[in-house]
Amino acid sequence: MFSFLKKDPLSKLNKQYSSLLEQALVAQRKGDIRTYSDLSAKAEAIADEIDALKKQS
């Protein structure tokens, strides 16, 4: 009935993905390769979730 009030999980994941990529870029520019690697791995995991949600739809 109130489906318009439900948040779209895909948009939330896209925001998280973009945020992680931006943080990783900043870490890479500062020379913190370990943090860059960790953030990139988290972003890839979120990208996999996004792909899975898109395939379900």
pLDDT digits (tens, 9 = 90+) for 30-48: 999 999 999 999 999 999 9
What is the signed CA dihedral for 38, 41, 9, 11, rounded to 10 degrees? Answer: 90
Domain count, the chain: 1
2 falls in which pLDDT band (50, 70, 90)?
A: low
Would 18 be classed as within a structural domain? yes
Residue 14 lies in a domain: yes
- 26 is in which domain, residue-wise? 8-56
Tell me the average pLDDT across 21-31.
Answer: 98
Q: pTM of the prediction? A: 0.84
Indicate the pLDDT class of residue 1, thresholds 50, 70 and 90.
low
Instruction: Place 27 in a pLDDT band, splitting at 50, 70 and 90.
Output: very high
Both tokens of 50, joined, read 């996004």
C-alpha distances (whole Å) from 51 to each of 20, 29, 34 are 17, 28, 26
Report in angstroms the alpha-carbon separations of 4 from 7, 8, 9, 10, 13.
8, 9, 13, 15, 18
